[in-house]
A = this chain, B = another copy of it.
Amino acid sequence: MSRVVKLAVIPGDGIGPEVVAEAEKVLDAVTADSDVTFDKTRFSLGAGRFLETGDTLTNEDLAAIAEHDAILLGAVGGKPGDPRLKDANIERGLLLKLRFALDHYVNLRPSRLYPGQSGPLAEPGDVDFVVVREGTEGPYVGNGGAIRRGTPQEIANEVSVNTAYGVERVVRYAFDLAERRRGRLTLVHKTNVLVNAGSLWQRIVDAVAQEHPEVAVDYLHVDAATIFLVTNPGRFDVIVTDNLFGDILTDLAGAVTGGIGLAASGNINPDGDFPSMFEPVHGSAPDIAGTQQADPTAAIGSVALLLDHLGLQDEAARVSRAIEDDIASRTGSGRTTAEIGDAITARLQA
């Protein structure tokens, strides 16, 4: 029986289209002989679309995207400081709007230092962990405001909103993941300062831990966690944390494990109420757009996460292995975006 997966593709801005092209190449190749077909719809969204039409994400776009089974996104965002984008905020109006509207409460960001891969650390050790970043709450809710704007009396507030409902579901996901991995879970927060949100996170982790006696749980303040990420990243297995801390930790984690050119991510709605969205952690890098200098590995890794999410574990594993093999053979000499995509595609067959 053949299965059709409706995939929304959002190439986006800058290097987005280039890396998505390679991700699609790999997706097409790995599913060529299988009984699953990807029925793709392309959405033109991002700074480019905004400059053309003034739209960031219309209700029609959102409704159409929501009809799909999954989303593959490249990167969105224009040139920093582009005056025409001054009031756009593509990040909030498009990327975060998708994550929130589609209830992507798990932002899954694996970090692995592949054999053969080097990063900035002198002695990184074995690094293989996953950050489970909450995706729909915290300081990202857009619940802030300012009074007396532009005057010496201006006050600008940002509210971090955290709910038992929201924290519990992502914590449960993280424990389940830790159980399938090396059985270690680290809560990262700042409970000694953000006492209300911190206490909620800590109590929920403590409660869910009772149901998972086989998972070893510890806690780190976010500042201390950054230290361990550079001095002993091998200590981590699953990190569960809030939206903002997860944002910070995963960029650092990407850097530590060879650069965000390799860092894949999934914005996941585990309940299947909405399509999940897969995207590289990196941005649109307008400075190198169109030059074929971008590394598509993060986008291709996001395809592996997409396949895994869709229950296509074999295909996901083949893509992951192809990435791993390619990385192991890298010599540092500059290949183009397409050459890396081609090389990874070629290794799929093996």
Question: Which residues of chain A have a CB within 8 Å of any CB of chain B?
Answer: 80, 89, 91-92, 96, 118, 120-123, 139-140, 142, 144-146, 148, 150-165, 168, 190, 192-197, 199-200, 203, 219, 222-224, 226-227, 229-231, 244, 247-248, 250-252, 254-256, 259-260
Closest beta carbon of chain B to A203's beta carbon, Å: 7
Closest beta carbon of chain B to A290's beta carbon, Å: 22
- When chains A and B are docked, how far (Å) is the Cα of A328 from the Cα of B154? 48
- Interface hub of A80, A157, A224 (most chain B Cβ within 10 A): A157
Residues of B within 8 A of A158 (CB): 139, 159-160, 162, 194, 196-197
Q: Are the C-beta atoms of B145 and A154 separated by less than 8 Å? A: no
With contact pairs A195-B92, A252-B227 given, residues A161 and B155 touching in the complex (Cβ less than 8 Å): yes
Nearest residue in B to A161 (C-beta to C-beta)? B157
Could you say how many copies of this chain the assembly holds? 2
Q: Known pairs A156-B162, A193-B244. 5 more at Cβ < 8 A?
A: A91-B193, A96-B193, A122-B122, A157-B159, A227-B255
Closest beta carbon of chain B to A288's beta carbon, Å: 15
- Interface hub of A96, A196, A222 (most chain B Cβ within 10 A): A196
Residues of B within 8 A of A162 (CB): 155-158
- When chains A and B are docked, how far (Å) is the Cα of A203 from the Cα of B159? 20
Q: Are the C-beta atoms of B196 and A157 separated by less than 8 Å? A: yes
Partner of A197 from the list B91, B157, B190, B222 (CB cut-off 8 Å) is B157
Residues of B within 8 A of A164 (CB): 148, 151-155
Closest beta carbon of chain B to A198's beta carbon, Å: 8
Q: List 10 A-B contacts (CB under 8 A).
A: A92-B193, A139-B158, A146-B199, A154-B200, A156-B200, A157-B196, A158-B194, A226-B226, A226-B252, A252-B252
Q: Are the C-beta atoms of A203 and B252 separated by less than 8 Å? A: no
Top-6 shortest CB links A-B: A223-B251, A154-B164, A226-B252, A156-B196, A144-B196, A91-B192
Residues of B within 8 A of A118 (CB): 122
Q: Are the C-beta atoms of A248 and B260 separated by less than 8 Å? A: no
- When chains A and B are docked, how far (Å) is the Cα of A197 from the Cα of B150? 12
- Interface hub of A91, A199, A230 (most chain B Cβ within 10 A): A230
Q: Are the C-beta atoms of A139 and B230 separated by less than 8 Å? A: no
Residues of B within 8 A of A199 (CB): 146, 156
Nearest residue in B to A163 (C-beta to C-beta)? B155
Residues of B within 8 A of A144 (CB): 160, 194-197
Residues of B within 8 A of A222 (CB): 247-248
- When chains A and B are docked, how far (Å) is the Cα of A284 from the Cα of B200? 25
Residues of B within 8 A of A251 (CB): 223-224, 226-227
Nearest residue in B to A152 (C-beta to C-beta)? B164
Partner of A247 from the list B197, B223, B244 (CB cut-off 8 Å) is B223
Partner of A123 from the list B120, B146, B153 (CB cut-off 8 Å) is B120
Q: Are the C-beta atoms of A157 and B160 separated by less than 8 Å? A: yes
Closest beta carbon of chain B to A88's beta carbon, Å: 10
Partner of A244 from the list B150, B154, B190 (CB cut-off 8 Å) is B190
Nearest residue in B to A204 (C-beta to C-beta)? B154
With contact pairs A152-B165, A164-B154, A227-B255 given, residues A145 and B196 touching in the complex (Cβ less than 8 Å): yes
